[in-house]
A and B are shown apart, each in its own frame.
Chain A
């Protein structure tokens, strides 16, 4: 699809000859994500980006639904969205706090605290892409009875971007300016034309905390605020009690700003346990209504589903399980730091070795026998929304071809069958977190590699260590003190900018940034950096999508990153529970509409 085609289509939508849905579908067919398509329409001024895509809500009165019991096998530890690292904390915060708008599963924006979604027609979007004006709902009250107003919105911006508060959401607020227009209107201003405007105040990072309760804790003492553990929000459920690392209880908010909502009288979010027992608690015994993140082999889920009490929900998102081949040397210490960016991996610097590694993983077997519905094989790192998915990448599994590639590159088999060249042996430490499907994948990979004369030493690290940001621990994934590693990375929003920044050179994870840099594999490319910068200022959505596709192709064809399977979010729920899920927002993003069919 060329630029002209697109403009033609947009014109047809404007004239009413083409429905918005038809437009989104057509764009999806050529690889655009739904959120991108709708944003395109919004920028072009063709249609309001409000969604009609939510499932119908049937209950006709508030309450009366009894208890809703939700199971998270990783427990949350605090309830302030601006400190919520990790999905569980964000989700638990979202039970009480609401953003201006959220992302529906088709990538459209749904107003929550906003009165409407900004667009060109309603004057919310400026033509130059430099500002967004949000109009807020009137009459929204915090759980303690105070009025919600523009001051709260401005406060959240100040709070989040304050370096002394040290929030995890600061990335969305640092570079923007927020102005209060009147008591119910705010304007977000960008320093340069910004194609992806729906970041601040939207979705998981957009949750609003009340100014009147946090204003005295908006400095270095932010972590001491009592409301970090006793939230007062605007949502459908009010706080009852919270035991960090265990259970969160809430009850119906009688003054909620949406009619007839919520349906349930009480809500319990129980944390802890493991994924399989969580699946059992919903699918087999029916003790809980909903269980989050079913990282369980599909075989097991299918058998549990056979009990016919509950079902598995699969929502396509941007999550991807992939292997990283370290670009630096994990065995040489430079300035007290292994995998230092000044070093080169002795074996992986040879493209032939990387190509062989990519040929040796049987993705189809992973999909068919390990991940099932929860992991379709893919050749791309950037898979969703569909408009960003590259058509150029292919994957192949061939031990014979890997052997040929290695032979041609001069890696000869030694007496023990392991290939070596110039004293470098193809023997790699392959680490991942403790998780049954990952250990199966390791076993499958190891066997294939063995047949190509590559020896993989498997290492599995407990997930709480592997994914921690503990600077003192050598086993974390951000340190990458191993030759290769495997995990899932998720896409926080429907736009890939925050996702594809993990391969730019200024994000390299190192001691200097406490291993907080996003570029963990430490692969660098000038071309990639340049294209990424270009994409940040490109307002034309089609050109922008093409840039992201090019970035995907660059990083995937380097073979330093080997995508394995897509990881849609998989959850379990009872058959009679009606929920609203979205891969582009938090699990609890539209909790107010959950109900039980009787």
Chain B
């Protein structure tokens, strides 16, 4: 769909033989061929379902302190064991998953939105605007993310906390910052797509028919440029989850009583050799989520890349 291949003779022959499928159906067909990606999709769906529905089914509170059940290994009462205050780790992992995943998806949205906007403007406008925007992109690419994140949290946490409360305030901050630092790849991708697409015959045709610039972008170019963007988006989710975990692990980010996955690892690290279950479960969650998202991204790339031959 990248549109970089001219319609070939073989393509028109197969088009006649195979029943007509839309681009999304075609992508799904190709995606299914990537077995790991399909397995990953199932795992990720289960994870998402678990953190969304789980807390309703598993009703132990996340902060119930029980000194009689400290550092217990997995049991029926506590399937993932307990931490050193006797708090149920399963409940905390489920709750933390909501935050970690929400941060991942929200930050991805921010990144994609900014990236597509910058890329599209640069790609359509060209000239000085393009050069300026690309300079900006390079500038952002060269900023060290983590130190800046620390600085911004330090500068703005109090102000934002007073307006929207500690959890939401930090959530907004983290999402905006992580999103605000992951859009550059997307912008470059989109710009490159726009450069090639806007010279394509179907765009010329639309332009000849008198389509406005806006309509050209929204109806003709953008949909055709979405494939690589979706792939980039999946990678962004993984990066955002890791970034949030890093922050929580450093003891920054969310308040200490909010059990994000990174915070759980941070709390568990001192007890690693006595109570490995405390670290293993949240660690496995981060691992599984990021791994499956990466595989899904891999599968999507196959699915959206028409040059790639998928055995059918």
Query: How far does the alpha carbon of A447 sit from the alpha carbon of B86 in the complex, in Å?
Result: 13
CB distance from A372 to the nearest CB of B (A): 12
Residues of A within 8 A of B84 (CB): 297, 299, 369, 440
Tell me which residues from 418 to 454 in chain A have a Cβ below 8 Å from any Cβ of chain B. 434, 436, 439-440, 442-444, 446-447
Bound state CA distance, A297 and B65, in angstroms? Answer: 17
Q: Which of B67, B154, B270, B274 contacts A368 (CB 8 A)?
A: B67
Binds B, one of A216-224, A235-243, A455-463, A590-598: A455-463
How many angstroms between the C-alpha atoms of A457 and B161 in the bound complex? 11
Stretch of B52-60, B137-145, B173-181, B251-259 at the chain-chain interface: B251-259
The CA-CA distance from A377 to B270 in the complex, in Å, is 24
B63 adjacent to A457 (CB under 8 Å)? no
* Complex CA–CA separation, A543 to B87 (angstroms): 49
Interface residues of A, dominant DSSP: helix
Complex interface: chain B residues within 8 A of A296 (CB)? 270
- A444 and B251: CB pair below 8 A? no
Q: With A365-B67, A439-B256, A440-B85 in contact, do A457 and B166 touch (Cβ < 8 Å)?
A: yes
Residues of A within 8 A of B267 (CB): 436, 439
Q: In the complex, how many residue pairs between chain A and chain B have their CB atoms under 8 Å apart?
A: 58
Q: Which residues of B (219-253) have their CB < 8 Å from a CB of A?
A: 251-252
A412 within 8 A of B: no
Q: Are B63 and A460 in contact (CB under 8 A)?
A: no
CB atoms of B255 and A300 under 8 A apart = no
Residue of B nearest to A275 (CB): B270
Q: Is A276 an interface residue (CB 8 A)?
A: yes
CB-defined contacts of B70 to chain A, threshold 8 Å:
369
* Closest chain B residue to A436, Cβ basis: B270
Q: In the complex, which residues of chain B have a beta carbon less than 8 angstroms from the beta carbon of A443?
A: 63, 65, 85, 87, 256-257
Q: In whole angstroms, how far apart are the Cα atoms of A439 and B63 in the complex?
A: 13
> Quick one: CB contact mask for B55-84 with A, threshold 8 Å, 1 for yes?
000000001110100110000000000001
- The answer to whether B26 has its CB under 8 Å from any CB of chain A is no
Once bound together, how far apart are the Cα atoms of A436 and B264, in whole Å?
12
- A474 in contact (CB, < 8 A): yes
A300 contacts B251, C-beta separation under 8 Å: no
**B271-311: which residues lie under 8 A (CB-CB) from chain A?**
271, 273-274
> Is A303 engaged at the interface, CB distance under 8 Å to the other chain?
yes
A327 to chain B minimum Cβ distance, whole angstroms, is 21
Q: B262 → chain A, closest Cβ, in Å?
A: 14
Q: Of B67, B252, B257, B271, which contacts A458 at CB under 8 A?
A: B257
Q: A369-B70, A446-B63 are in contact. Are A300 and B274 (CB under 8 A)?
A: yes
B256 & A442 in contact (Cβ 8 Å cutoff): yes
- Nearest B-chain residue to A446, judged by Cβ: B257
On chain B, the residues within 8 Å of A458 by CB distance are 255-257
A369–B67 touching, CB < 8 Å: yes
- Contact residues of A between 293 and 318, Cβ < 8 Å to B: 296-297, 299-300, 303
Question: A196 → chain B, closest Cβ, in Å?
Answer: 40
Chain B residues, CB < 8 A from A297? 84, 270
**Contacts of A457 on B, CB cut-off 8 Å?**
166, 255
Least Cβ–Cβ distance between A571 and chain B, in angstroms: 18
Distance (whole angstroms) from the CB of B241 to the closest CB of chain A: 22
B204 at interface (Cβ–Cβ under 8 A)? Answer: no
In Å, the complex CA distance between A357 and B84 comes to: 24
One of A303, A368, A436, A459 near B255 (C-beta < 8 A): A459
Given contacts A297-B84, A439-B267, A440-B85, contact A303 B256 (CB under 8 A): no
A-side contacts of B269, CB under 8 Å? 276
Interface positions, chain A 362-412, Cβ under 8 Å from B, are 365, 368-369
Least distance between A390 CB and chain B CB atoms (Å): 29
| Chain B residues near A434 (CB-CB < 8 A) | 251, 256
Closest to A459 in B: B255
Q: Please, how many angstroms separate the alpha-carbon atoms of A459 and B169 in the complex?
A: 13
CA distance in complex: A443, B154 (Å) = 23
Residues of B within 8 A of A436 (CB): 267, 270
Please determine whether A474 and B158 come into contact, CB atoms closer than 8 angstroms.
yes
The docked-state distance in angstroms from the alpha carbon of A434 to that of B253 is 12
A268 nearest CB across to chain B (Å): 25
Nearest residue (CB) in A for B154 is A475
CA distance A121 to B251 in the complex (A): 58
In the complex, which residues of chain B have a beta carbon less than 8 angstroms from the beta carbon of A439?
Answer: 256, 267
B61's closest neighbor in chain A, by CB? Answer: A447
Q: Is the CB of A460 within 8 A of B251?
A: yes
Assembled-state Cα–Cα distance A369/B84 (Å)? 8
How far in angstroms is the closest Cβ of chain B from A305?
Answer: 13
Specify which chain A residues have a CB less than 8 angstroms from the CB of B65 in the assembled complex. Answer: 443-444, 447
Residue on B nearest A434 in the bound complex, by CB: B251
Assembled-state Cα–Cα distance A369/B154 (Å): 32
Q: How far is the CA of A443 from the CA of B92 in the complex (A)?
A: 14
B3 to chain A, nearest CB (A): 51
- Complex formed: what's the CA distance from A460 to B267 in Å? 13
Contacts of A440 in B (CB 8 A): 84-85
Tell me the complex Cα distance, A250–B252, Å: 38
CA distance A47 to B103 in the complex (A): 70
A432 (CB) vs chain B CBs: closest residue = B256
Contacts of B270 in A (CB 8 A): 276, 296-297, 300, 436
Given contacts A440-B84, A457-B255, contact A303 B274 (CB under 8 A): yes
User: What are 8 A-B contacts with C-beta separation under 8 Å?
Assistant: A300-B270, A365-B67, A369-B85, A434-B256, A439-B267, A444-B65, A458-B256, A475-B154
Closest 6 A-B residue pairs measured CB to CB? A434-B251, A460-B256, A276-B270, A458-B257, A439-B256, A458-B255
Interface positions of A (Cβ within 8 A of B): 276, 296-297, 299-300, 303, 365, 368-369, 434, 436, 439-440, 442-444, 446-447, 457-460, 462, 474-475
Supplied contacts A276-B270, A365-B67, 19 more A-B pairs, CB within 8 Å: A296-B270, A297-B270, A299-B84, A299-B271, A369-B85, A434-B251, A439-B256, A440-B85, A442-B257, A443-B85, A443-B257, A447-B63, A457-B166, A458-B256, A459-B166, A460-B255, A462-B252, A474-B158, A475-B154
